Every structure is written in C-alpha cells, then in structure tokens.
Amino acid sequence: MGFLDRFLGQKHPQMMGLDISSSSVKLVELGQSSSGELVLERLSSEPFEKGWIVDGQIEKFDEVADAVRRVVARSGTRTRHVVMAMPAAAVITKRIVLPAGLREEEMELQVETEAHQYIPFSLDEVSLDFCVIGPNSNSAGDVDVLIAASRKDRVQDRQGLAEAAGLTPVVLDIESHASRLAMTRLVAALPDQGKDALVALFEIGADTTSLKVLREDELLYDRDQSFGGAQLTQLISRQYGFSYEEAEQKKLSGDLPEDYGPTLLTPFVDSLAHEIGRALQYFFTSTPHHKVHYVMLAGGAASMTGLRERVKDVTGFASRVVNPFENMKLGPAVREAKLKREAPSYLTACGLAMRRFVQ
C-alpha cells in the first residue's frame, strides 16, 4: 500500500527505492534477470548532519534535498521514478473488517467513515490510504482492511524532496512495511522456508532500535527503544575531541586511534547486546512466547565487530547479520567491498525498491 501509487494495478515502471532516515539517504535500484532473479543494479548513500531530520521531521529541507541530489548523481541511475516511505511514527494504522465484494467506491466511503473514529484530526488534513489484507479469519464473507493515514504536510515534505531532486515519486510506503517486505525473501531462505520460525528483527538506527517479531508474513510484536549507533559516535566525539560529524565519518572509515577497540567499541558492543537481550525479555514477559528461533540484526550498527557473537552469547539464540541482497545477482555498477560492509543498513531501501515487483 502507499499514500501515492500512480501505477496501482499496472506493471510498475523501472523505479528505485529511496530511504530517508535521521542519519542518511540510501538509494537502491533493482532489476530482474530473464530467469526472474532479482538483480542489484545500484546502491548509494549520502550522510546527513545531525539535526537535519529530527524524529522523522525534515528540519533542513534544502540541505536534505541537496543530499538526495548527490546520492542520485553518484549512483549513476537514469531512473526518475522513485518509491519513498514515511516513518512509522508519522503514520496511524488501523485494521478494520469490511464486507467482502464491495466496489472500490463503496470501500472508500466505508474506510472514510471508519477513519473518523481513529484519526485525531480532520480528514481534510490527512492523506488516507487502505489495502485489503485478505479474508477475515473469524467472519466468513468479510475481509480485513488496513487503513493508513498521515498528515498531508508530512507526505508533501517527502514528495517535495523527490521533486527537488528531479525525481517523480510514484509510491509512498511506510518504513516498517518496506523492511518487512525485504525480510520476506530472507525468511523464505531459512531452513524449511522459515515455516513457523519466530524471527526477532532488530533494526539498529542512529537514535532508535526497533524490534519486530515475525512469523512468516505475520507481525507478532513491534516496539521501538531509544538506543542506537549515534551513542557510539557521541562517545568517540567526547573521547578524542572530534566534532560529531568527524566522529561519525571516522567511525565509518575505521580511522580511529589504536585504543578505540578496547576503550570504546568493545564496551559499547557489550552494552548494545545487553539492550537487545532486555528487549527480548520484555517481549517474552508481555506475550505467550518464551523463545525465538533467530535474532536478525539490521541497520548501520549491525555489522559492528563482535556484535553478532555477543548477541548470541547474551540471548542464547542463533544470531545473524541481515544482508537484504542475499542470493541476488550483482550488476556491474555494484562494488562488492562496499556491499559487504554496508548491506545491513539497506534493508528498508531494498524493500522500497522491491515494490516495483509487488502488485
């Protein structure tokens, strides 16, 4: 589903995924081989300075738009159609039940009537979308419908960014839906095609880490916590007297003093692993579940040295670092070294690019 989908029900044209987070913009373009395999054609990223985007709100529009232009230019893409996403915190979602067999216009009317109950501002101020999920399990003849609403100004900000970079936004998704779409391929590649496996997906962002517990296509649990990779950047900045931007750049390039590993990185990795362990314990105490089969780590901090092993030690569960491009062919423009280093941070961007192949 998307607040903006100009090609709904048609075969989508060539289009790329553009993931705008609090710390960077990431671009992914996928193609398809003659045998139907996905091909990673391009990936590129451009960092943001701290404060450009705060809590999903674009505070420095011109600076962010310039970064989007740079990431598009660096990628070398000629594609101008783009899929973007809203942060989950900027979207109200609600699952409702409606009679099956309604015409599109009838369903729209019902959705608007229902939406009044759940949206705390006037419908004139929001962009509203919905999609039919499937038959309702408790009531024959009814279907489950997912409603999504976001304030028009937030939607227009995202559209405006694309247009300022000379792009045409064709789908506006929700970040959490995009990352789950990318995960469907990875879960299907697990033993027994991931059937009945409980997968705890930790997306470690700059400021926030989200835990989603998935069972095949079903989202069982979703919770955000306020810890992330920016805390390590702040420690580096304080320890060595760098500006925040210098500290972030040196963290990514590995250009840090010899004592960085034992002094800062190892204690931070240990602290992060214990935060992940606590988040899982909270899931166990607030649901009937008492174990997961896999802990999957995504986001910029996921590939930190020693994190996967430490998470396995702390939680006792099999732990993996996510590569959303696993089992994809690589196009000639993709540098393998960059891909290997940065792949976990492209989960949402990959899911957005996959929208081209999902009706």
Q: Which of 102, 136, 152 is the last residue of a domain?
A: 152
Question: Residue 1: its pLDDT value, please?
Answer: 43
Q: Which of 99, 126, 152 is the last residue of a domain?
A: 152
**Distance from C-alpha of 358 to C-alpha of 113, rounded to nearest angstrom:** 28
Domain tally for the chain? 2
Do residue 307 and residue 245 come from a single domain? yes
Do residue 213 and residue 298 come from a single domain? yes
Question: Residue 36: its pLDDT value, please?
Answer: 86
Q: Tokens 């939406």 — which residue? A: 115
Whole-prediction pTM: 0.89
Per-residue pLDDT of the chain (359 residues; tens, 9 = 90+): 455 454 333 445 789 999 999 899 999 999 998 888 999 999 999 999 989 998 888 999 999 999 999 999 999 999 999 999 988 888 888 888 888 888 888 888 888 888 888 787 787 888 888 888 888 888 888 888 888 888 888 889 999 999 999 999 998 898 988 999 999 999 999 999 999 999 999 999 988 999 999 998 888 999 999 899 999 999 999 999 999 989 999 998 889 999 999 999 999 999 999 999 999 999 999 999 999 999 999 998 999 999 999 999 999 999 999 999 999 999 999 998 889 889 999 999 999 999 988 75
Question: Residue 2: its pLDDT value, please?
Answer: 55
Do residue 318 and residue 224 come from a single domain? yes
- Is 223 inside a domain boundary? yes
Helix axes 266-286, 230-240, angle to 10 degrees: 150
Do residue 123 and residue 233 come from a single domain? no
Question: Residue 12: its pLDDT value, please?
Answer: 58
- Is 282 inside a domain boundary? yes
Q: How is residue 184 written in tokens? A: 């469907």
Q: Is 96 helix (H, G, I), strand (E, B) or coil?
A: strand
Do residue 141 and residue 198 come from a single domain? no
Q: Is 78 helix (H, G, I), strand (E, B) or coil?
A: coil
How do 81-86 and 16-20 pair as beta strands? parallel
Question: Residue 161: its pLDDT value, please?
Answer: 93
CATH number at residue 94: 3.30.1490.300
For residue 354, CA distances in Å to 39, 88, 146, 173, 212 come to: 11, 19, 20, 12, 20
Do residue 213 and residue 280 come from a single domain? yes
Provide the residue range defining the domain that includes 136: 90-152
**Distance from C-alpha of 237 to C-alpha of 244, rounded to nearest angstrom:** 6
SS3 letters across 17-31: EEEECCCEEEEEEEE
Question: Residue 144: its pLDDT value, please?
Answer: 87
**Distance from C-alpha of 333 to C-alpha of 331, rounded to nearest angstrom:** 6
Instruction: State the amino acid at position 320 in one-letter form.
Output: R
